[in-house]
Amino acid sequence: MPTASGQRAADGVPARIPTKLPVLFRPPGRRNAMPFFFDPAYMLAIAPALLLGMWAQYRVRSTFTSASGEPAPLSGAAAARHILDSAGATDVAVERVPGQLTDHYDPRTKVLRLSDPVYSSRSLAAVGIAAHEAGHAIQDHSGYALMTLRNAAVGMANVGSGIGLTLFMMGLMGSIRPLAWAGIALFAATVFFQVVNLPVEIDASNRAKRQLVALGIVPQADMPHVNGVLNAAAWTYVAATLQSVLTLVYYASWLSHGERESEG
């Protein structure tokens, strides 16, 4: 799950993967602009994603608050345990983790970690989020192909976000275009991870919605509260992915434009 503050939560997604390149350097060829100056064209290019992201974060906060006030028969931890056991994933442990919306499933240790409020609270918000994380554990347990691909891409994405940005900026500062292109290619690895991650997130939520009703944890009539939280969370992932895609396109087209200018 993403956090309400816009930081990416664990959820199997390393929190240190930045979803965008820094805005504080100028495109080559704009000779009047200060180096490392705020780039308004970049902000304009990613504006649709920023607006979508703001809207999604607002929806996460408002739906979470409203669903937190709706009672559920089980705590988040008990709901997760019930869903895992009924899917045969009895080897997955459910643990408590500090923080808010820090809920995630760790596929390496087969541990589902629920934040304090989700772990113990008997609310529709808590069982909704717990069921979503249980959905990830079941994806892993059942060998869901995109989950496997996502887990394989995590390492690549980490490298891409760390070294990629550094190479890109070094390439720009030193006017070494192949280096900047290598940086772009590595950043593309993080974008690939985010694109693969999207259907994994949506599938986990769909599993959660089905299981909550099928196991009688949430009556069908109360599902709009759960759906509201999970759908809003999905939109934050869509917004973050869109922002990365637009960023990638912006800087790639910017570099190739500069190449055409210097050739002609």
Query: Is the CB of 204 or the CB of 212 nearer to Zn ion?
Result: 204
CB 104 within 8 A of CB 118: no
What does the per-residue mask of binding to Zn ion show for 83-122, with x meaning CB under 5 A? ----------------------------------------
Place of tokens 């100028």: 26
Report the nearest approach of Zn ion to the CB of residue 66 (Å): 20
Query: Is the CB of 81 or the CB of 136 nearer to Zn ion?
Result: 136
Report the nearest approach of Zn ion to the CB of residue 127 (Å): 15
Report the nearest approach of Zn ion to the CB of residue 103 (Å): 8
Query: Is the CB of 107 or the CB of 171 nearer to Zn ion?
Result: 107
Task: Name the nearest CA neighbour of 27 among 48, 51, 44.
Answer: 44
Residue of 70, 133, 201, 261 marked active site = 133
Q: Please confirm, yes or no, whether 95 is among the known catalytic residues.
A: no
Return all residues near 41 (Cβ < 8 A) that are at least 6 apart.
Answer: 27, 250
What does the per-residue mask of binding to Zn ion show for 67-86, with x meaning CB under 5 A? --------------------
Which of these segments, 22-30, 39-47, 185-193, 202-210, binds Zn ion (CB under 5 A)?
Answer: 202-210
CB 128 within 8 A of CB 66: no
What does the per-residue mask of binding to Zn ion show for 29-68, with x meaning CB under 5 A? ----------------------------------------
Which of these segments, 53-61, 147-155, 197-205, 221-229, binds Zn ion (CB under 5 A)?
Answer: 197-205
Query: Is the CB of 244 or the CB of 250 nearer to Zn ion?
Result: 244
Report the nearest approach of Zn ion to the CB of residue 229 (Å): 12
Query: Is the CB of 82 or the CB of 207 nearer to Zn ion?
Result: 207
Q: Residue 222 interacts with Zn ion (CB under 5 A)?
A: no
Residues paired with 123 in a beta bridge = 71
Q: Residue 140 interacts with Zn ion (CB under 5 A)?
A: no
CA angle 125, 130, 133 (to 5 degrees): 130
Query: Is the CB of 127 or the CB of 255 nearer to Zn ion?
Result: 127
Q: Residue 11 interacts with Zn ion (CB under 5 A)?
A: yes
Report the nearest approach of Zn ion to the CB of residue 118 (Å): 13
Task: Tell me the catalytic residues.
Answer: 133
Residues that bind Zn ion (CB under 5 A): 11, 201, 204
